[in-house]
Amino acid sequence: MPEGPTGAHLTLGIETSCDETAAAVVADGQRVLADVVASQAELFRRFGGVVPEIASRHHLELLLPAVTAALERSGVRLEAVDAVAVTQGPGLVGALLVGVCTAKTLAWALDVPLVGVHHVLAHIYANFLPEAPALPAVCLVVSGGHTDLVVLDAAERLTVLGRTRDDAAGEAFDKLAREMGLGYPGGAALERLARGGDPAAVPLPRAWLGQDSADFSFSGLKTAALTALRRGAPSADLAAGFQAAAVEVLVEKTVRAARRLGVGQVLLAGGVSANGALREAMARAAAREGLGLSFPPVRLCTDNAAMVACAGYRRLERGERAGWDLNAVADLELT
């Protein structure tokens, strides 16, 4: 990859798919020089969820300051940037447009390559910072908007094995947490509450969807948990039972897929992969099955732009490059 005068290839990453405005500078696709995340989560707490138009307006205000801060913290001048990578989708279209338009403008003004990145792919590449994991790998991407099981082969091509048929795992965590008065997004608060509970006290269903299915379903679990809440189930026990049910299905389906395909490495990604119970259960299952396991540091599990820069760099290395007609796509397919 052509490099600037600093000797390293510098990718500016931009992420605005939901309610995090993020900019990062990554050297040679692996060293994070700066990673700035301006979260709007506090703002949306009182609404109990993201309001798309408000999110877009905030991205507009916050993005250039985030880019400026990322450049300052990394000690990189704007003119030294070698490429710009941006989340193209999926996500809230107005929010994505702010990132895409800003990235295009910067890349055009700097006369450097532009690359559009799928948000789920970016989450997976959080596992490549600072070093690439062994490939091929089965990757479980669990976030507020996605629950996907995919394989990344040695050439970094992606095949989707399964996905959720209804709620994303994080969405189910957030909906239960909201009903329990834990605020938004409530995944981390639900995990904290679950620590004091008995996971076996409130029996909850697991959706296996057949022995070999790599698809997921969390709406039945969510509804059963909400019903138990209304019937007065103790909140810590309910949180623990819900988390145990979600984690068991996520772990088992991932491990089964790896076994079925003869793949020796598992990667966790996305906001829900910050969950300690999921990490521990996956680590136990991986040890039992003799699988390698990688998950990003908590900071890189939730939305950030370092993962976008890393994914973009690796796509540029493979010769991908977006045209000036790059557009935001709310329901971008994972390919």
Question: Which stretches of the chain bind Zn ion, using CB under 5 A?
Answer: 143, 303
Among positions 188-207, residues that touch ligand KG4 (CB under 6 A) are: 188, 191
Minimum distance between the CB of residue 224 and ligand KG4, rounded to whole angstroms? 18
Q: How many Cα atoms are found within 13 Å in the side-chain-facing hemisphere of 1?
A: 25
Regarding 216 and contact with ligand KG4 (CB under 6 A), the answer is no
Regarding 99 and contact with ligand KG4 (CB under 6 A), the answer is no
Rounded-to-integer distance, Cα 73 and Cα 221, Å:
44
Return the beta strands (E) in the chain as ranges. 10-15, 20-27, 31-39, 83-89, 114-118, 137-142, 147-152, 158-163, 265-269, 292-294
Q: Name the DSSP letter for residue 35.
A: E
Sheet holding 158-163, edge to edge: 158-163, 147-152, 137-142, 265-269, 292-294
- Unique residue bearing structure tokens 């970094």: 156
Between helix 169-179 and helix 187-194 the angle, nearest 10°, is 70
Identify whether the C-beta of residue 147 lies closer than 8 Å to the C-beta of residue 214. no
Regarding 187 and contact with ligand KG4 (CB under 6 A), the answer is yes
Minimum distance between the CB of residue 173 and ligand KG4, rounded to whole angstroms? 5
**What φ, ψ does residue 126 adopt, rounded to 5°?**
-60, -25
What residue type is 182 in one-letter code? L
CA dihedral (97, 102, 105, 111) in degrees, to 10, reads: -120
Among positions 4-33, residues that touch ligand KG4 (CB under 6 A) are: 18
Token pair for residue 323? Answer: 């045209």
For ligand KG4, the closer CB: 185 or 197: 185
Q: Which stretch binds ligand KG4 (CB under 6 A): 40-48, 202-210, 268-276, 317-325?
A: 268-276
Choose from ligand KG4, Zn ion, none: what does 127 bind? Cβ within 5-8 Å by kind: none
Name which position in 199, 241, 271, 296 contacts ligand KG4 (CB under 6 A): 271
Among positions 130-159, residues that touch ligand KG4 (CB under 6 A) are: 143-145
For Zn ion, the closer CB: 156 or 303: 303
Minimum distance between the CB of residue 7 and ligand KG4, rounded to whole angstroms? 33
Regarding 173 and contact with ligand KG4 (CB under 6 A), the answer is yes
For ligand KG4, the closer CB: 25 or 274: 274
**Sites of contact with ligand KG4 (CB under 6 A):** 18, 143-145, 170, 173-174, 185-188, 191, 270-272, 274-275, 302-303
